[in-house]
Structure 1
Amino acid sequence: MTTERRPARRLPRPAAATLTAVIGLALLTACGDSSDDSGTPKSRAAGATSSSSAPAGSTAIPTEDVVSGIAADPALTAELPAAAKSSGTLTLGTTRAPGVTGLPHGGESEDGTPIGLDVDLRNAVGKVLGITWKVQYGTFPTVIPGVQNGRYDVGQDNFGVTKARVEVVDFATYLNDGQSFLGAEDVPVDSVTQLTDLCGLTVATSPGSTFQQILTDGASKCSGAGKKPYKVQYFTDSAPIFLGLANGKVDIYFGPTLALKYDATHVPHTKYLGQISTTPVGFVTAKGSPIGKALSDAVNKLIADGTYAKIFAKWDVPGTGITKSEVNPAATF
């Protein structure tokens, strides 16, 4: 089956120049080909300036303090194991995210201080539980095994709840992520709710990911609907994806909901087009550990007192929070 090659769509020169400048910064600060749980490259376009808020189209990084004023809850501290209560610490395994291209999940300020939505969430939970985190860095594939063998008390790295994982570790959920679409502002669709909305367009995503699997499984849907098929391009680094959006070689980026919502407000001349599925994400603890329930109860306290909403507002990712944290919610895959 062949597809008709349509003329390259280009942003107006000022728009393309602005977006290209942002991409240039991302390339300078990129953290390589590492991926999060969904197989999405962590190198994304994001600015390096700081601000207490980040309006739409801005590359500013928010610096509002939404954590330091949180008080410990003795009743929740009491749920922790004796060793944690005695030491006042829990060991957390995660991956390091240099620069700012991994935001909103995680990054580092100019002085090397960890920043991001995930960082604020875990620090807020630590405040509620009356503990400090002893953060240790590993790689994405080693964090869950590290929790299993006792190296880490808790793992955090945008881990989605899956049936296979729940068999070996517990989850205390703290947000929802999913599979979404981001387009250049002049892409000829305003909403994507099903794969047939992509027919005739060029879609970019990461190889070896759930996104690739979804696009591969749905490849016949366009012809079945009597439409031109979509074309898929694969990139291990998302900076070329944003460059493609700027120069007309890419129509749509298929990636994680939370990240693309953030990008839509920080990368000029892009628009968020919607998501087709969602997945709960949580802290990982050893199977049967009381730490899981304590983490979940702490998240629920933050939801109840409004701190949770403030954290999500700070990082400009509406609609990705949860109304209640759970331990081991039902997995859909």
Structure 2
Amino acid sequence: MYSKVLALVLAAATLTACGAAAGEQSQQQPRITTAKVDRIAAEVPSAIRDRGALQVITNAGTVPPLTFYDTDNKTPIGVEVDLAGLVADVLGLRTQVTVASWENVFVGLDSGKYDAGFTNITVTEERKEKYDFATYRLDNVSFEARRGGNWKIAGAADVAGRTIAVASGTNQEKLLLDWNAQNVAKGLKPVDVKYFQNSTDYYLALQSGRIDAYLGPNPTAAYHAKSSGQTEIIGTVSGAGPTLQGEIAATTKKGNGFVQALADALNQIIADGSYRKVLDRWGLANEAVPRSEINPPGLPKS
């Protein structure tokens, strides 16, 4: 599920009428590109192929690495924009990216105004009733700690007796509290759970030693660790819980005939190595998938 903590970490952008081409990315980081593949481009529905542009809708915030604004405060960049651009390359299309609020992403897909959503959308069984999915990243949450320690987290017992921060009302909080309940039932020390108001407070507490780790969405944690050089990921678990690996997917209106082309294009960029270059750029190598799948098992209905 799209974690509520992204609302805390990523300030939601309002709907904007102007799209930005993926080629307009920051001059400091030119967009990674790849070649058109004719056999895959031929799978694109004629309405999209005749238009010559892939209409992508996404949700932007202010913190990398998902979708955020370049230094001009108007050009959307980030891992989602980069991957959408690669897919368009394979399909022989230009990329037109429109930024919308989270709820308007789905309004735009429902109306057919946009061809695909690239915006950290998790596959769920409920969403599969209205949308088709082609997966491209794992949906994970991560424990971030100060760099240089020897503490690793693989399961519930590893957090016993530790002080860990998490955002209230999130999937991460539920996971941490469930683990804590398991530990207490086994006679292990409880977790000291801490809550803060914003991401800056979490990281200040981490650096000062007031907390041992911060449990948050893997994209923001992994990118922060990569860019700051002061922290590291010491454990990663599925955002869908212990019984299912959640997956993020390109999302398109159900039955519109486009999902096969999306999946084939994603598998092409995985095979040609451009996919890995994008994930490495944004510190998300630990969310790589071996191949794109169409409509895999999703998070169950509540």
TM-score, scaled relative to structure 2: 0.83
For residue 274 of structure 1, the aligned residue among 235, 244, 259 is: 235
Encode CA deviations 1:51-84: one digit per residue, 9 max, x unaligned: xxxxxxxxxx99454534x222222222112111
User: Post-superposition shift, 1:332?
Assistant: 4.6
Cα distance in 1 for residues equivalent to 2:97 and 2:226: 30
Gaps of 5+ in 1: 1-35, 46-60
What residue number does 1:39 align with? 4
Mark the CA change 1:77 to 1:179 in structure 2 (over 3 Å): closer, same or farther: same
What's the CA shift for 1:282?
0.7
Alpha-carbon offset, residue 114 of structure 1: 2.5
Counterparts of 1:57-68 in structure 2, within 5 Å, are 63-65=28-30, 67-68=32-33
Distance 2:31 2:98 in 1: 23
The code of the aligned residue for 1:262 comes to Y
Tell me the CA shift for residue 311 of structure 1. 1.6
Q: Which residue of structure 2 aligns with residue 203 of structure 1?
A: 164
Q: Secondary structure at the match of 1:41?
A: helix
One-letter code aligned to 2:51: S
1:213 to 174, 178, 183: 174
1:145 aligns with 2:107: yes
**1:180 matches 2:180:** no
Report the identity percentage. Answer: 31
Quote the residue 1:265 is aligned against.
226
Residue 302 (structure 1) aligned to one of 237, 258, 269: 269
Aligned length: 278
Q: Is the 8 A contact 1:66 1:310 kept in 2?
A: no
Separation in 1, partners of 2:290, 2:66: 19
Choose the corresponding residue for 1:78, options 21, 34, 42.
42
Q: CA RMSD in A?
A: 2.4
Equivalence map 1:228-239=2 (5 Å): 228-235=189-196, 237-239=198-200
2:233 and 2:104 map into 1 onto residues whose CA distance is 32
Question: 2:6 is paired with a residue of what secondary structure?
Answer: coil
Q: 1 CA distance for matches of 2:96 and 2:285?
A: 30
C-alpha deviation, 1:235, in angstroms: 3.8
Give the structure 1 partner of residue 19 of structure 2.
none
What amino acid sits opposite 1:88 in the alignment?
G
Over 3 Å off, 4+ runs: 41-45, 61-66
Counterpart of 1:89 in structure 2 is: 53
Do structure 1's residue 111 and structure 2's residue 72 form an aligned pair? yes
Structure with larger Rg: 1
> Aligned partners of 1:115 and 1:207: how far apart in 2?
28
